[in-house]
Amino acid sequence: MADTIDIVIPDLGDFENVEVIEVLVSNGDTVEREDGLITVETDKASMDVPSPENGLIGSLTVAVGDTVSTGDVIGTLTMQVGDTVVITPTIAVPISGETTVLAGKEDAPPKAAGKQTLVVPDLGDFDDVEVIEVHIAAGDKVEIEDSLVTLETDKASIDVPAVVAGTIESVLVKVGDKVSEGSSLGVIDAIAAAVVPKVEETVVGKISPVPAPKPEPQPVQEQAPKTLPAIDEAGFSKAHASPSVRKLARELGVNLVQVTGKGAKNRILHDDVKAFVKAILTGQASAPAGSGLPKVPSIDFSKFGEIDVQPLTRIQKISGPRLQASWINLPHVTQHDLADITELETKRQELKGPAKERGISLTPLAFIMKACVAALEEFPKVNSSLSDDGENLVYKKYCHLGFAADTPQGLVVPVIRDVGEKDVYEIAAELGELSALAREGKLKAPQLQGASFTISSLGGIGGTAFTPIVNAPEVAILGVSRSSMQPLWNGSEFEPRLMLPLSFSYDHRVIDGAQAARFTTFLGKVLADVEALLKASPQ
């Protein structure tokens, strides 16, 4: 079965009768969505007209030298539904008709039956997320909430559930592909049913033409930045980019090998090239990744004895560069302190029994989180972030706390929201639930987003102190080590007290040493007064 659609020129902005300077395909060619079909040139720059869907070129009615305008039909595309790929028009191309992106909320109206495209829901701040497992195949029957694919960010694995029931017509992704919000996963012959997903509703009515990227004239720089890399012709020719993007890159002296593509299938877009140049010119990037740092010597360890090479986990591969970026870009300082939790631990032991009857494991971390809320309210700068331009501080009026959870794949950071509105029992219950989901790799995107401050507790393992790395764009992180009994002078004699080591790392651009010391001192006082801490809990 196949559907045929018109290929329409998207919004060209203020330009009309734009000249076709290159035809990139022929009748009968197989194309994928976002592949360039023709290249047009305005008085500012050239741009590609992309394929609206996967399929076969049925006919192409333009030639080099012709002129086209927004809305012109330049040919037809036969979309194949089957083992190849194809979807109903849910991407932003100038195709008229109504469609609903497969994301809704609990009060969404019933979903109509028929062929529909399954797409990636809102992933928060994550783009180009790797597909690590595909759970469906053509012909499979799925129900609402059945897992379609598993994605992995730098923090955790995420299952993408089906939002309608039906039979899978085709699968559009495979293991190793990169997807973002709105990326197509497959085509389903849906059964009419109410949509009950947990993501926000996104309904698209008449799909308006979407502007093609409009390259802006680049200012002539009298002093060319020395950090722009020389063009590697071999790599340049293999870069996933259209002819117009290649032309723009050559005009600006940009080596496409060094540019990260943000388009479908990591395709390099005009905006990606301009963003790369802007980063160089504004000093946000002094050179291509890693080129400004001395390299670690490459050594053949097998020369010295037997070795065993084991691959990094996916979480390690993804989180490693982020941690390195945070460590390099943020001036880290760590303040070490001790908090007296003798009374807190006594009280916790009293409350463990009632908590256990409610199925809750009452850990010290629940009390520490509650105390952190009080400290963040007292020192709101610790609960802030630097604006992108580095000119302002963004103060957050919410208190969402992330905590580092140890899993077989590595550390992930689930987030408990609005901790100040919860008592220690509720916090402990969420800690247990999120930790279990983290170990099973079943955390969802919203459970990993929005933290304003993070706690990394190694108390259950050991250690006396460490230097946690700030989880940018946060400006601070609290590290907690194992508590121990220590002699404390009370003015007349030494008495044994249970002391908790605190390691508070912070971004020195935002927090100075005096503020850091005041923060840990205040936090220690809150932890020492457990009765006041519990009274602060909501009733």
- Residue-wise pLDDT for 138-166, tens only, equals 999 988 888 898 887 766 667 888 888 88
More confident position, 346 or 197: 346
Catalytic residue among 240, 332, 336, 508: 508
Q: What is the pLDDT of residues 496-518, one digit of tens each?
A: 999 999 999 999 999 999 999 99
Confidence of residue 227 (pLDDT cuts 50, 70, 90): very low
DSSP string, 380-402: GGGGEEE-TTSS-EEE-SS--EE
Considering only CA atoms, give the Rg of the chain.
28
pLDDT attached to residue 376: 97
| 3-state helix/strand/coil string of 86-128 | CCCCCCCCCCCCCEECCCCCCCCCEECCEEEEEECCCCCCCCC
- The pLDDT assigned to 154 comes to 65
Domain 317-535 in CATH 3.30.200.20: no
When the pLDDT of each residue in the chain is averaged and rounded to a whole number, the result is 81
pLDDT of 408:
84
Cα gap 458→1, rounded to integer Å: 58
Distance, in Å, from the CA atom of 125 to the CA atom of 474, rounded to the nearest integer, reads: 14
What is the chain's length? Answer: 539
Partners of residue 5 on adjacent β-strands: 77
**In the predicted model, what is the mean pLDDT of residues 24-34?**
84
Query: pTM to 2 decimals?
Result: 0.54
Q: 40-54, 218-232, 321-335: which range is least confident on average? A: 218-232
Residue 389 is predicted with a pLDDT of 84
Confidence category of residue 91, pLDDT binned at 50, 70, 90: very low
Res. 413: pLDDT tops 80: yes
Could you tell me if 95 and 5 are in contact, meaning their C-beta atoms sit under 8 angstroms apart?
yes
Percent of the chain with pLDDT over 70: 79
* Tens-digit pLDDT profile for residues 351-367: 999 999 999 999 999 99
Single-letter code of the amino acid located at 496:
P
Question: What pLDDT, on the 0 to 100 scale, is given for residue 366?
Answer: 96
Instruction: Give CA–CA dist 244/116, Å, rounded.
Output: 33
pLDDT score, position 245: 80
Grade residue 257 by pLDDT with cuts at 50, 70 and 90: confident
State whether CATH 4.10.320.10 applies to domain 213-218+225-309. Answer: yes
Lowest mean pLDDT across 193-197, 269-273, 280-284: 193-197
CA gap 489, 307 in Å, rounded: 52
Domains 1-95 and 98-204 share a fold: yes
Supply the pLDDT for residue 316. Answer: 80
Q: Is 59 or 350 the better-scoring residue by pLDDT?
A: 350
Sign of the alpha-carbon torsion through 160, 198, 98, 142: positive
Ranges of each domain in the chain = 1-95, 98-204, 213-218+225-309, 317-535
| pLDDT surpassing 70 at residue 470 | yes
- Strand 453-457 relative to strand 401-403: parallel, antiparallel, unpaired? parallel
**DSSP H or E stretch at residue 525:** helix 513-528
- Contact call for residues 495 and 486 (beta carbons, < 8 A): no
Q: Say if residue 210's pLDDT is above 90.
A: no
The class of domain 1-95 in CATH terms is: mainly beta
400 belongs to the catalytic site = no
Question: Would you state the pLDDT for residue 90?
Answer: 34
HSE of 289 in the Cβ direction (CA atoms, 13 Å)? 9
Which range is most confident: 4-8, 91-95, 331-335? 331-335
Q: What is the dihedral of CA 532, 404, 500, 520, to 10 degrees?
A: -70
Q: What pLDDT does 122 receive?
A: 79
Summarised one tens digit per residue, pLDDT across range 286-305 is 445 444 566 778 899 999 99
Contact 367, 530 (CB under 8 A): yes
Percent of the chain's residues with pLDDT above 90: 37
Q: Say yes or no to pLDDT of 21 above 90.
A: no
CA–CA dist 344, 524 (Å, integer): 11
pLDDT at 203 over 60: no
Highest mean pLDDT: which range of 42-46, 117-121, 210-214, 420-424: 420-424
- Maximal C-alpha separation, the chain: 96
Averaged over 217-223, what is the pLDDT?
46
The architecture (CATH level 2) of 98-204 comes to: Beta Barrel (2.40)
- Confidence band of 98 (pLDDT split at 50, 70, 90): very low
457 three-state secondary structure:
strand
- Name the band, by pLDDT with cuts 50, 70 and 90, for residue 95: very low
Token pair belonging to 71:
């809305």
pLDDT tier at 282 (50, 70, 90 boundaries)?
Answer: low
